[in-house]
Amino acid sequence: MKRTTTLLAACAGSFLLGAFINAPDDPKKPLTTGMIEVASTVFGLEFTPAERDSMLDNLNNARTNYEALRKIDLPNDVAPALYFNPLPAGFIIPTGPSSFKASSAGKVTLPANRDELAFYTVGQLGELIRTKQISSVELTQFFLNRLKTNDPKLHCVITLTEELALTQAKRADAELKAGKYRGPLHGIPYGAKDLLAKKGYKTTWGAAPYKDQTLDLDATVVRKLEEAGAVLCGKMTLGALAMGDVWFGGTTRNPWNTEAGASGSSAGSASSVSAGLLPFAIGTETLGSIVSPSTVCGTTGLRPTFGRVSRHGAMALSWSMDKIGPITRSVEDCALVFNAIYGPDGHDPTVMAAPFRYAPLTTLKGVRVGYVKKAFESTYPNRANDSLTLQTLRSLGAELVPFDLPTSVPAGRISFLLTVEAAASFDELTRSGRDDLMVRQGKNAWPNAFRSARFVPAVEYIQANRARTKLINDMADQLKAAKLDVYISPSYAGGNLTLTNLTGHPCVVLPNGFTKENLPTSITFMGQLFEEGKVLAVAKAYQDATAWHKKHPIL
């Protein structure tokens, strides 16, 4: 049964409505001043009887407009006419050519125990393929078998794309034999979060209402990876509609503790890479969906600058916050994958042209690395491991500079922007009542969040965006005053995660230790807009001085 989404129906049955007015049975009947009085309490305003009476014509006309608007077909891939721009006042986008210099792979040979290939980096596997020590078909079959064997424990795959993978692997081998080498991703298996479309396969968004959905297009990221020679082995799980780790088929598991979830929403991407089922996978982040599962599963993830990677062919959750990035075993693997997927495609108008320049650093001497002082000095679960990270950076020669995030705009108070946009993305799901098919139905789950978001006034949504502009400019001022290109932050403590997802700054999250329960912990390296290269280089220098990323779960 379809839900009636008029103001009256939304409030029907509530205590306030019953207490103050006699609700008509027909929701199509004109609104009354009593309804306006009740509705205004939702957003904390008070109007006089004369003011409420004056509003009636406008509100009844508006309701008629809403009903007409709902008859327009607006599928998920239709974006608003307003595009988010993360650039602060006076910011100049980097220009000039891109440059990419990976570390030397050194001498890479096939291990005597082939199972060890499961935890080779993309760079190492790429060298094995380039030197023809192993074929893409062999490597693809190896990882397909690992996916089949371990998915019953981890529930990290929605669709295994075996036929496609073997076709792409055979092509990669034939091209290499003919002298055509596409680069470091040539013949490398990978997985894509199942909110990215691939022709011929379902794109379920992890949610029961869409579990049989097919989209007749290739997401730009999938297309670019195919052009780079990568081999798509599976569509990986995500928490339904990109929240959490619960999808229509169950809960994606953490390889370090299969009794626990992998966090979300890029749950399957992080779980599969952590367990050595794939060399890399593509995730997305709106408010922590790369950082969180990477932390829990002990993987390395890159959340690029907003407007760096096209979202064409990806499920829209929040048009102003969605970002796409790789989840891998190492920092440089993130750089290798990002180098293949960034840049404009003519489909996503928010993507800006800017160079990507990456080269490993031989030393951190003289590099100013900020640290979020209040966050590191607060009391939080991972403080001990994070303090050791600071010590390691000092030992590498980095100049640690105390840095504080702007406080003029409490980021948590405007994060409802995400929920409002998500409610618009899935407006038809709410109005049709099909949100009842979603597995999670609690107060904090999407169905309730979508319904609640309808009560956010448009004026408050715009005001929150104006506050977001102030936050963006204040963040730029803080970074400029501290003369920082890179800073580090606890992955969760101190508010950095929410703030920088709103401002659009890039981050690299990577392992920095373990808890007493032998579960991974993480640290986050942050950078200026469009400066992924600098962040990756500093993060790599730290990671090379540690061995946390080389530890693997035993299934």
| Residue pair 207/438 in contact by the 8 Å Cβ criterion | yes
Q: Would strands 507-514 and 520-527 be described as parallel, antiparallel, or unpaired?
A: antiparallel
3-state secondary structure 128-180: HHHCCCCCHHHHHHHHHHHHHHHHHHHCCEEEECHHHHHHHHHHHHHHHHCCC
Partners of residue 10 on adjacent β-strands: none
| Residues marked as catalytic | 193, 265, 289
Q: Where are the alpha helices (DSSP H) in 351-415?
A: 373-377, 383-395, 411-414
302: part of which helix (H) or strand (E)? strand 300-303
Angle at CA of residue 424, ends 467 and 311, nearest 5°: 85
Give the CA diameter of the chain.
85
3-state secondary structure 244-261: CCEECCEECEECCEEEEE
C-alpha 216/C-alpha 52 separation (Å) is 49
For residue 284, with 0-12 CB atoms within 10 Å meaning exposed, 13-18 middle and 19 or more buried, which class applies? buried
Count Cβ neighbours within 10 Å for each residue of 231-261 and write b for 16 or more, e otherwise: bbbbbbbbbbbbbbbbbbeebbbbbbebeeb
187: part of which helix (H) or strand (E)? none
Three-state SS for 204? Answer: coil
Phi, psi of 64 (to 5 degrees): -60, -40
Structure tokens at 419: 């929920």
C-alpha 366/C-alpha 372 separation (Å) is 19
Instruction: Check residue 13 and report its DSSP letter.
Output: T
| Residue pair 214/203 in contact by the 8 Å Cβ criterion | yes
Three-state SS for 269? Answer: helix
C-alpha 527/C-alpha 534 separation (Å) is 7
